Amino acid sequence: MVVVGAGSWGTAFACHLRDNGHDVTLAARDPEQAEEMNRTGRNPRYATQARLDGIAAATVGSARVDDAELVVVAVPSRVFGDVVARLPGDSPLLSLSKGLDPATGQRLSSLVSGRPVAVLSGPNIADEIVRGLPAAAVVASGDLELAVRLQVAVHSVLFRVYVSDDVVGVELCAAAKNVIALAAGGADGLSLGDNSKAALVARGLAEMRRLAESAGARPDTFAGLAGMGDLIVTCWSPSGRNRRAGELIARGARPDEAAAEIGMVVEGLTTAPVLRDLAHRLEIEVPITEGVCAVLEGAPLTDLVTSLMSRAPTTE
């Protein structure tokens, strides 16, 4: 198996696959990073505590992708389309990336052609996976036979995997929860309290559901791991990049400064305007997403709070 993308989640997932008995190659973009992983058995940049014993490191261009049993892609959404377009062969592809394509607004799995595709999502903080703490995820594919094969390959006593055929719902949940987490981090940064944060997250879930249902997703997906599960951990975990970025922005940082301080990709910053544009096309109200976009474009975060609290009362 080849894991393309040697960031935190790609590294953690490669370790999980190895522990499940698979032969794994971890492919990095940077040759120096790949060389260092082979030399030291550690990723020098991400998930540095993970031991890479038994995992071969390579560059994306040199990894034996064409004859791999499975290709796992864990790269930022902004480069996902380019990366998968250059992968040789027709092996099944499992996407771990969470976002939308910023160039087209499409779901990431729709950019994959010429090979079977599935997506995996859920409340999966990479650091906890590396530490061997229990977690769960959902693998979704329009090909249920593929989804079940991947479930068998990935499932373990520490990483419980469920199967779904709602690819639309799982991918849109994975994208939208990062935007809501930016707002939740903003609530933390402004010290608005647990009541307001819980209300924001609950209404964020309703916003996610409206949007994804209009795109053809199933309602039950939002009560599951890809929806509520991932939203909760992303909005509350101290390790959540998007929550942390929102907190930093609330305390005066520009979005680019927040991303630089975190030192890793903050998907919500890329996804927010793409998700807003999708909502416009579907004619769906997404006030939290609209407000997050306004803040990213320079509006005071307090204006978002005021606009949300000043909306006309309605039914739930």
* Residues annotated as part of the active site: 177
CA distance 20 to 58: 21
Tokens (6 digits) for 237 = 């975990």
Alpha carbons within 13 angstroms on the beta-carbon side of residue 191 total 1
Radius of gyration of the chain (CA): 19
CA dihedral sign of residues 295, 301, 303, 308 = positive
Would you give the end-to-end CA distance of the chain in angstroms? 46
CA 160 vs. chain centroid, Å, equals 18
* Angle between the N-to-C axes of helices 241-250 and 167-189, in degrees from 0 to 180, rounded to the nearest 10: 30
Tell me which DSSP letter residue 11 carries.
H
Q: b/e string for 267-293 if b means 16 or more Cβ within 10 A?
A: bbbbbbbbbbebbeeeebebebbbbbb
Reduced to 3 states, what is the DSSP secondary structure of residue 119? strand
CA distances from 11 to 31, 58, 70, 187 (A): 16, 13, 16, 31
What's phi and psi for 289, nearest 5 deg? Answer: -60, -40
